[in-house]
Chain A
Amino acid sequence: MVEAVRPSLALGAFAGEAAGAGSATAPVLNTRALSVTAGRRPLLREIDLRIDAGSICALLGPSGVGKTTLLKCFNRLIDLTPGLSLEGDVRIGGRSVLGREVDVDQLRSRVGMLFQQPVVFPRSVYENVLFGLRRVRRAVPKREWPGRVEAVLRQVSLWDEVADRLSSAAAELSVGQQQRLCLARTLALEPEVLLMDEPTSALDPASTAAIEQLVLSLAGRTTVLWVTHDPEQARRIAGCIVHMESRDGAGCVGACESLKDGSLCELGSAEKEVTG
């Protein structure tokens, strides 16, 4: 699978100088005829999708259907997987993110991502929270760092558990705590879009509940796309559900289900099947 390929830094994927994606408010996500192929093997076929600004949308579908691949198109992490080619367009806040002129680093700092397994760097808890902030948001003065760290750790309900061991190695935390730490690290950058790739699949119920609560609290401010295998979880957290299915060996969107009032997600004009 694509997800198993080791990321490569040797693709020249970090180039670009133009302004990044998104505006100050939560942006709309949409794809137009997005296809991804690995050599001659299609992974995603003509995905047309629109997700409203500020909504929490769950992405449901069987393993291998391309959910993670689709997620990685929004922040161009797909570029790190060698041998893939993309066709079509991906837009965030109305701007294409696939052009050569896009500043991919800036895009990724605004489109945060949480992975299936927590990835803590071999540093302290404090350093992990600051890892992106100190390098990507250089305008934030150093004196504000401790306050920011406390604020995001409180936001993910981790402050009370780690306040007295901020200088301890992050790897000493439990898996659930590590995942919340990763979420805190991402939130420290104040992303406008949050991509979550089965973030609770390896977590205990308490950590799962904490992350779900936090994401619910982001509704309206941050657009969240959450990959899950659990339909119950999707209905708990999401305002809309994108059902992905496999067709001719490639993933595509089968249906877009709005659970709450308003058109929170919809398929593209070519294949519109909004229900709900």
Chain B
Amino acid sequence: MVSRPLRAWLDRALSLSAGLCAAIAAALFVAIAAILLRRGLPALDANFLFTESTSAGAAGGVRYQLLGTLILMATALLLVAPPAVALALLQTVYLPAAAGRKLRIALLTANGVPSVLFGIFGLLLFSRWLGWGKSWLAGGAVLAMMMLPTACVALIDRIESLPGRYLEAAAGLGLSRAQIVRAVVLPQSVSGLASGLLLGLARAAGETAPILFTAAVFSGATWPSGIRENPVLALPYHIFVLAQDSLDPASQDRLWASAFVLLALVLLVSLAALPVRLKLHQEARDG
């Protein structure tokens, strides 16, 4: 038996260490944001988002880098949603339990695959085999592949947390399995899908390696006019090149400012997922 004072002390110690860990995580984010903002401030103004970069990134803004990143994100989002729903339904509804467990393990494993491998796979499949070359669609497809496990697992978790009584009541009325999926499972899992998609997107938005080989160039691209050999500019790649190549102080300012814009973009996407995640947590608490 643990005495009451010791129990209270252990409880306080545990609370304190949990608070400390949370504070470290929050401080890390605040520190990164503060450094980016302080260093990028000389370049950050109202025009930075809306003007084209010039002089190899030493002047101008990130108009097409931001646009290219948004194109890649939107493409990835559109491409990943249907297979994420299909795989989640396959795992939870259609596959026998043992096969479903194997699929889940495969998805979790895919979640841990380094992004550069997705990039190389995309290079071989989309750019070479399908002949798209460097293309916004190839980049979006690679990012979609990267997002798939996150979106899928989030949706599976949501479907599995649906109260069994809904399924039983719908089946009891004579609805077929397909009707139950359409009328009960999918409508009540939308929040899980949205949450998974946005979290996956937040991660994919900042990735450089997958688009390095498949979609992004440093300059010259504007609005894509087709699929084949239609690359885009992208913030992560822009930052990557500026960080590697430029010793010019003006470029350095723009490097930090671009990084701040990317961080803000990722933060916005993560915040967009927050309401649905809070709703899921609330539902989990309410049973």
Does chain B have a CB within 8 A of A239?
no
Residue of A nearest to B160 (CB): A6
Residue of A nearest to B100 (CB): A10
Task: Out of B96, B168, B173, B183, name the residue touching A185 (CB < 8 Å).
Answer: B173
- Whether the pair B169, A119 counts as a contact (CB closer than 8 A) is yes
- Whether the pair A117, B167 counts as a contact (CB closer than 8 A) is no
A58 and B103 CA atoms in complex are apart in Å by 45
Contacts of B92 in A (CB 8 A): 9-10
What does the 1/0 interface line of B176-187 toward A look like (CB < 8 Å)? Answer: 110111011101
A186 and B173 CA atoms in complex are apart in Å by 7
Residue of B nearest to A127 (CB): B183
A110 and B176 CA atoms in complex are apart in Å by 14
- Whether the pair B183, A131 counts as a contact (CB closer than 8 A) is yes
Contacts of A182 in B (CB 8 A): 169
Residue of A nearest to B177 (CB): A14
A109 and B174 CA atoms in complex are apart in Å by 4
Task: Out of A6, A9, A112, name the residue touching B172 (CB < 8 Å).
Answer: A112
Does chain B have a CB within 8 A of A156?
no
Task: Out of A112, A119, A121, A189, name the residue touching B168 (CB < 8 Å).
Answer: A119
Task: Out of A9, A106, A112, name the residue touching B177 (CB < 8 Å).
Answer: A9
Give min CB distance, B75 to chain A, whole Å: 32
Residue of B nearest to A9 (CB): B93
In this complex, how many residues of chain B approach chain A with their Cβ under 8 Å: the count is 29
**Interface range on chain A (Cβ under 8 Å from partner):** 20 to 34
- Whether the pair A121, B184 counts as a contact (CB closer than 8 A) is yes
A9-B177, A189-B173 given as contacts; is B167 within 8 A of A80 (CB)?
yes
Contacts of B188 in A (CB 8 A): 122
- Whether the pair B97, A135 counts as a contact (CB closer than 8 A) is no
Contacts of B95 in A (CB 8 A): 10
- Whether the pair B166, A108 counts as a contact (CB closer than 8 A) is no
What does the 1/0 interface line of A75-96 toward B look like (CB < 8 Å)? Answer: 1010010100000000000000
Task: Out of B169, B174, B181, B185, name the residue touching A189 (CB < 8 Å).
Answer: B174
A266 and B172 CA atoms in complex are apart in Å by 27
A110 and B172 CA atoms in complex are apart in Å by 10
Residue of B nearest to A182 (CB): B169
Does chain A have a CB within 8 A of B164?
yes
By Cβ-Cβ distance, the 6 closest A-B pairs, closest first, are A109-B174, A132-B173, A119-B169, A6-B164, A108-B174, A113-B172
Can you offer 13 A-B residue contacts whose CB atoms are under 8 A? A9-B180, A9-B181, A10-B93, A10-B95, A80-B171, A105-B176, A119-B165, A119-B169, A131-B170, A132-B174, A136-B174, A136-B175, A186-B173
